[in-house]
Structure 1
């Protein structure tokens, strides 16, 4: 197996797609899940339409199921092609992103690759965002949570307003924080971009604290602009104050998040 592959724990392999960028960090993480000795594998987020990447995923084992965390193209553009290569059904929250399979629902349990996979609806980044809690009957204390773009390996996630909503996102973070392991067994986070994080509870808490700080900054920026005579500050004006230090190529994403925060505060 090529150096592009990384083994995580006893039942996860990860391959990073060659699509680095401001929004994808060092590339999209595609995951292959399979319990030791299981005849089949599960692929989560095939990633972009890159033939070498998809061929590697198809060759990682007998693919029996393909899962999607959310509809963004850096996670889904290769889905139809991987379905062609393997014949495995592609399942996502939205029917239009399924190929040969049905839409996923919150709380659904799947048995595939010798593993149990629980679907968690975690809207916020997008309305269709899902996380997957994966466990093995042979190792009941060993769990992982695949978070897509809901929690990233570094930095913070964008609320893709108006499809994504901040209130939903905060509720999703609280739900993920409650999925922390017990008895000194933290549950690792396998994000859609960036490195693995050690503890879902700690990661979700850090994200909640970051969001609380940003909400306060947005509120203060609105008050400042109103004192200066701007009755209804828009997202660009607020972003210039709150996110003025970030690179130009991320300003659009910052304005989306500000729009989501303004809607949240007004609502």
Structure 2
């Protein structure tokens, strides 16, 4: 385990606070946002995405009050690696869409309402980034509610599709569903809080369609049988080598979408 970081528990919305996990990187941006949800002053919380296995980080989360429930937005280790240990530390059940990441709790179901720490969360299946991605809607969090989006929507940049597990058709359908929630506050898995989910979704959708247009153009130049590496070279000509594999995954997902 890594030593404790100097991060603090910070406010994110009326019903949410977060602590930044000490795992910055090309894919995790500044680190994973681990959220504490609950009515202020209630002494209990729901923790969403405990993050990496870091004793200092988890100890700070546990010290904020009784943890009633632990939720995981998706399977990637920067969100889920600490779940089993945090379950042992707090005794709280862990729930995720994938039963493999549940510890003492049942898998999440789409549309389910969860009551814990004095608040209501609604589970939204959100496949696309991964097949097991979920979002959590807090309808009473401020005037427009809030949505914890995991890696489905980030506070900065755009989301990678973890192909072949993540698929573009699923992701576009997820964006449509999230847009229906209106100008809810976005509580992302990485990056800063954003003010209006519907506006962010429209920007994300526009970006995806721009990329599809670029890939269609590349196929026109390179031939219909062009492969992922060739198209990535053409479309992401100035890509940072650290995120080359992520770009190739996104290209592969878009090729599958275009080719039916």
Q: Above 0.5 in TM-score?
A: yes
Instruction: Say whether residues 1:41 and 2:45 are aligned partners.
Output: yes
TM-score by length of 1: 0.93
Superposed, which structure 2 residues align to 1:136-155 within 5 Å?
A: 136=140, 141-155=143-157
Superposed, which structure 2 residues align to 1:5-84 within 5 Å?
A: 5-84=9-88
Give the distance between the partners of 1:196 and 1:240, measured in 2 at CA: 33
Give the distance between the partners of 1:91 and 1:164, measured in 2 at CA: 21
Q: Which residue matches 2:259?
A: 266
Residue deviations 1:174-210 (CA, integer Å, cap 9, x gap):
1111111xxxxx3110000000111000011100000
Q: Which residue matches 2:3?
A: none
| Unaligned runs of at least 5 residues, structure 1 | 181-185
Give the distance between the partners of 2:24 and 2:199, measured in 1 at CA: 26
Cα RMSD after superposing both structures: 1.2
Give the distance between the partners of 2:171 and 2:83, measured in 1 at CA: 26
Find the partner of 1:165 among 161, 164, 167: 167
| Preserved CA contact (<8 Å) 2:13 2:142 | no
Q: Give the 3-state SS of the residue equivalent to 1:141 in structure 2.
A: coil
| Unaligned runs of at least 5 residues, structure 2 | 1-5
Q: Give the 3-state SS of the residue equivalent to 2:57 in structure 1.
A: helix
Q: Give the 3-state SS of the residue equivalent to 2:160 in structure 1.
A: coil
Give the distance between the partners of 1:259 and 1:169, measured in 2 at CA: 14
Instruction: Say whether residues 1:209 and 2:206 are aligned partners.
Output: yes
| Preserved CA contact (<8 Å) 2:228 2:252 | yes
Residue deviations 1:212-249 (CA, integer Å, cap 9, x gap):
000110111011101xxxx5111110010111112111
Give the distance between the partners of 2:188 and 2:49, measured in 1 at CA: 11
| Preserved CA contact (<8 Å) 1:45 1:76 | yes
Superposed, which structure 2 residues align to 1:119-198 within 5 Å?
A: 119-136=123-140, 141-180=143-182, 186-198=183-195
Q: Which residue matches 1:112?
A: 116
| Preserved CA contact (<8 Å) 2:218 2:231 | yes
Aligned residues: 255
| Preserved CA contact (<8 Å) 1:115 1:135 | no
